[in-house]
Structure formats: structure tokens, C-alpha cells
Amino acid sequence: MSTNNFPGLPLFDSAKHFNQIPRNELFPDQAPAVESFVLNLGVEGAVDDYRYTKDFLTSYSKKSQDTYDKFRGDAERLLLWSWLIKRKSVVLLRRRDLEEYTDFVAKPEPHWQGETTQRRFLSASGTREPNRDWRPFRAAGGGKGRLNTKSWQGLFSNLSVYFNYLMAEDYAPGNHIPIVKKNCPYLRQETGINTARRLSELQWEYLLSSAKSLANADPQYERTLFVIATLKSLKLRISELSERPNWLPVMSHFHRDHEGNWWFRTYGKGSKERDVSISNEYIVFLKRYRQHRGLTPLPSKDSLEPVVESRVNNRGLGSRQLRNIVEYALDEGCHSLIKDGFDVEASELRAATTHWLRHTGASMEVAAGRNLAHVQADLGHGSIRTTDELYVDSDNMERASSAKGQEV
């Protein structure tokens, strides 16, 4: 699918490279292709669109990489659609245009979609070249809708913030997003069972077993095994294990208290630090990985090595690299399930993402009877109600069980 010609290119680099652009410079010197693309579009107002969008993203790029990534993706897609398909400035889009855009998001043209997530830019001879395999959208799998209700809500929220910024700068005349959202046919009011996306016991068993087999056969996969075990056991978001502009997880973040209990200090959502409790079983994986790296079995307060090392000394891995590691392990788990005849479980596992490991860890702990408040603290939820709604489904399980014995 991504081999079809896409007429556009990515506009904004990762937060790391974006933050290197001086505030008084409009286009990045390292990416001349972006400047050439915008200047030669032949769309009146495109340069101003780019300028105000760059200023908008600048306000988020140093605070939170995740927030920057979300705003960048939604603003970038809208700009490209407005320029390449509507052939006009984003501030000239009216309600009818934006309703047309939601239809496009629900079903993008084939050459706007890629089978896999690709880097926007690649380094080449001191420059940042647009990756020709990158596409604004990733293809939806297996007949499923492109976005679920939560994703649509996130899209409208991000675009509303974007247009409010443009209005505050006296660039956009108004914000049509709220009314477009209200009438959006893809945004459904969900009243069904609210369950977190998670792996079953069988799927987790096969995933972990596959990662162990990879590591036993080839030491380069020790990192894969450690990443899988860490995301699930510590119930971390991918950003909490990755290197980002204001955070590098290092081994000293594993620490032991005076009672001999082990904890992992992380920097999470909302710029909040928290300590995550660690199980004795997880310590086995930590020791194994550290010994593979030639380190002492357990870290000390002076251990400044990145928790997950890159191929470059004293550097961690970014979120995209970590996702690639997890996706490879998930594929191996699928192959193992299929080999043993669990085709349905394998099909479900193919839909999993890195965030499912966090949900899986929390769900299994709640099901095992762990105190809900303790799980909440490890997850970093501000309210125990959030944890309860996501992971406590005993009433639904009882309802399902009582239905199974009913006659037709």
C-alpha cells in the first residue's frame, strides 16, 4: 500500500530535532525538503499555516513528548489534507470542509496509508531527509474501523485546541470543531462494558515464552525479553521507559528501601514522579538482563546506565524503537499460538499494542486479589475510580457466567 505515490511529505520532525530549530527560524536548516515543499505548493497561506502551526507545537514540544506527538500528528494530517486535497489554507476550512475531513479520516485514500508506522525523517549526510515510506495514516486491520470512540474524542479535542490557539493569535476566524464533533456519525455514545485492552493468561504465557526462547537462542534478544517483562510487570507506559527530552530512565531508578523492598522511580503522565513496587519474580529478569550487559546483578544508587540501552553508549531508546521491539515479540507470540492451534488467540494478539502490556499487568494483579489502591498507586492514576472502572469486572463476569446456562 505504501508503494503508491503520496504527493506530500512529513512536516515536523521528532521533538528532539524540532527543539533544535531556533525560534526565529521558520524552516529547519537540516530539512530543506520541507521548506521547498511548502513554498512550492501553490496554496495561498500555506507558509503562514506552517508558521503558526510550528509556533503552536513549540508550546508543547518541551513539556511532554507524548502531547507533542499527538498534536503534531493531528495538525500535520489536517494541514496536508487542506493543502493537497482542498487546495486552500487551513484557516479557510469551514464546517462542511471539516465534516468532509472526518469522512477522509474514517477512510483515507489508499496512497495516504501505510502498512506500518515509519519514521518521518531519516538522517543522511548531516541532513534530515523525509522518509518516502512514511504516510499520514496507518492502514486499519481486518475490517475494523480506523478509530474507536476514544480516538475520535482525542482527535476532536486536539483539533479544537489547535484552532483555539490560531484564534488567540488572530489567525483563524473561528473554531468549527465543536459543532463538527457534535454531529459526527463516527462518534458513538458507548454504554457497553468498559474493558481495558489486555492479553489473556494464555496469550501472555505464549508471549513471554516466545521472548524467552528468542533470548535463549540469541543473546541480542535479551533486551526484548527485558522490555516485555518490564512493561507488563511494572505496568509502565511506553514513554516511562523511553528516553525523551526531559527524561532518561537509568538503573539507579531501581532502588531498595530499608526493609529490602525494591521500587522503580519513573516520570509519568502529568509530569509526576512515582515509585512503582517490584515483585520478587521481576527481580529475576532484572538480574538476567544486567548480567547480560556485564553489570552487577543488582543496581546501586550510582548506577547511571540507561535502563534499556541503545547501540550508542549511554543512550536510551526512544518510544518508536521500543514499540518496534514489542511488535516483533508480539509477532513471535502469534506464530507460536498458531503453531499450537490457537488461531483465534493469535488473531486477537495481532491487534495488541505496547499499552496492552500495562493493562495486562494491572488486570492480572487485580484478578489475583491485590489491593486496588496499591494497583492504583503503581499505575499513577489520580483517582481509584479510574482503576476500578478499567480493571474490576467481577460483576460482568458473574453476569456472563449466569447467561451461559440459559436455554434457547
Residues 342-386 pLDDT 10s = 999 999 999 898 999 999 999 999 888 899 999 999 998 888 887
| pLDDT for residue 246 | 74
Q: Are 28 and 34 in contact (CB under 8 A)?
A: yes
Three-state DSSP class for residue 265: strand
E runs forming strands in 269-338:
272-277
Q: Is 268 left (phi over 0), alpha (psi -120 to 50) or beta?
A: beta
Three-state DSSP class for residue 115: coil
Q: Are 362 and 379 in contact (CB under 8 A)?
A: yes
Mean pLDDT of 246-271: 90
Produce one character per residue of 328-354: b if its CB has 16 or more CB atoms within 10 Å, e if not: ebbebbbebbeeeebeebbebbeebeb
Three-state DSSP class for residue 258: coil
Interacting residues of 19 by C-beta distance below 8 A, sequence separation 6+: 61, 62, 245
Which of 343 and 247 is assigned the larger pLDDT?
A: 343
E runs forming strands in 177-306:
254-256, 262-268, 272-277
d(CA 395, CA 152): 28
| pLDDT for residue 192 | 54
pLDDT at 330 over 90: yes
| pLDDT for residue 142 | 40
Range of weakest confidence among 42-56, 145-159, 244-258, 265-279: 145-159
**Antiparallel, parallel or unpaired: β 272-277 and 262-268:** antiparallel
* Model confidence band, residue 403 (pLDDT cutoffs 50, 70, 90): low
d(CA 232, CA 163): 37
How many separate helices (H) and strands (E) can be counted in the chain? 16, 7
Domains and CATH numbers, the chain: 15-138+146-183 (no CATH), 201-405 (1.10.443.10)
| pLDDT for residue 1 | 39
| pLDDT for residue 93 | 97
Place of cell 550487559: 293
pLDDT at 3 over 50: no
| pLDDT for residue 393 | 60
Range of weakest confidence among 51-65, 96-110, 157-171, 276-290: 51-65
CB atoms within 10 A of CB 284: 11
CB atoms within 10 A of CB 394: 9
* Model confidence band, residue 143 (pLDDT cutoffs 50, 70, 90): very low
pLDDT digits (tens, 9 = 90+) for 190-200: 555 555 588 99
Q: Which cell numbers hold the place of 206?
A: 505464549
Phi, psi (degrees; rounded to nearest 5) at 128: -110, 105
Verdict on whether the full-model pTM lies above 0.85? no
d(CA 33, CA 30): 9
Which of 227 and 59 is assigned the larger pLDDT?
A: 227
pLDDT at 145 over 50: no
Phi, psi (degrees; rounded to nearest 5) at 129: -95, 135
* Ordered alpha helix ranges (H), 8-81: 15-18, 32-39, 46-61, 65-81
pLDDT at 310 over 70: yes
* Model confidence band, residue 210 (pLDDT cutoffs 50, 70, 90): very high
**Antiparallel, parallel or unpaired: β 137-138 and 113-114:** parallel
Mean pLDDT of 56-73: 84
pLDDT at 141 over 60: no
Q: Which cell numbers hold the place of 58?
A: 513549540
**What sign results for the dihedral spanned by CA atoms 197, 203, 208, 210?**
negative
**Antiparallel, parallel or unpaired: β 121-124 and 137-138:** unpaired
Strand partners, 129: 122
Q: Which cell numbers hold the place of 126?
A: 548531516
pLDDT at 178 over 80: yes
